[in-house]
Amino acid sequence: MLLRSVVVAGAAVIIGCSDPKAANEDNFKISIQAYLDTAYPKCYFYTELPATIGDFDFNRTKEKLQALVKAGIVVEKEGSREITDTFGKVKKTVPAPLFDLTDEGRKYYKPDMEKTFGGKSIGGFCFGKARVKEIAQFTEPSDLFGQKVSSVNYTYEVYDLPDWAKSPEIISAIDSLKSDVESLTTPVKKMEAVVLTNNGWVHEKILKKAGS
């Protein structure tokens, strides 16, 4: 009788641990990792290529491209660009550097990754993989708009970054790289929500993407 009780208790523990709807570190780690697998490779810099840069470079695009030139990812050639009036009529054509991808750069540049305000698709330099390091803390699930939601504090690290992306010149120009490059020694910290579904816990951003 005692042996039977032990077996039943052990089975209950195993079932409880494998329940995808349980609010625990293992399930939250799975849901966070599933999200990170969609977020990486991450695009750190979006731009149209080949391209020339105009006078109004608010996003420091030329600085970023010139850093990529030094890294051998982009090449700078002689080119030209058109100067237009307020009505879009071409006034003149002036010399301007033309930036384009090298063979190495094509390994990391993915087309049609983002839409501009004008609806034009542009590509981006995307790379890296991410893995959950630790589920540091989470809240007890609570009701929010008819759903069970838990806020999860977690850390993750980014790996499989190309060596050129770790150079000080690139990090200085593309500052969104800094925390990911340093994450193997200083993991990135995040607090995000996971939502309980019929299949278990799902990261809020995956649900939003699925519903958009």
More confident residue, 149 or 15: 149
Q: With bands split at pLDDT 50, 70 and 90, how would you rate the model's confidence at 90? A: low
Domain chopping of the chain, boundaries: 22-40+128-211, 43-127
Residues pairing with 78 in the sheet: 97
Q: What is the chain's mean pLDDT, rounded?
A: 88
Instruction: Reply yes or no on whether the pLDDT at 4 is more than 60.
Output: no
Rounded to 10 deg, the angle between the 204-211 and 25-39 helix axes is 50
The pTM assigned to this predicted structure is 0.82
Six-digit token pair at 95? 């010399």
pLDDT confidence of residue 3? 36
CB atoms within 10 A of CB 33: 15
Closest CA to 193 of 143, 159, 157: 143
pLDDT tens-digit map of 159-191: 999 999 999 999 999 999 999 999 999 999 999
Q: What is the mean pLDDT of residues 61-69?
A: 96
Closest CA to 74 of 49, 56, 94: 49
CB atoms within 10 A of CB 111: 10
Q: What is the mean pLDDT of residues 66-83?
A: 87
pLDDT confidence of residue 1? 41
Instruction: Reply yes or no on whether the pLDDT at 68 is more than 80.
Output: yes
Q: In one letter, which amino acid is 165?
A: A
Q: What is the mean pLDDT of residues 132-144?
A: 96
Six-digit token pair at 62? 């030329």
As a whole number of Å, the end-to-end CA separation of the chain is: 55
Residues 6+ apart with CB under 8 A from 134: 154, 155, 187
Nearest-angstrom CA–CA distance, 188 and 153: 11
Instruction: Reply yes or no on whether the pLDDT at 16 is more than 50.
Output: no
Q: What is the mean pLDDT of residues 136-152?
A: 95
Instruction: Reply yes or no on whether the pLDDT at 95 is more than 90.
Output: no
Instruction: Reply yes or no on whether the pLDDT at 8 is more than 60.
Output: no
- Tallying the residues shown for the chain, one arrives at 212
pLDDT confidence of residue 117? 82
CA dihedral 50, 54, 58, 59 (to 10 degrees): 10
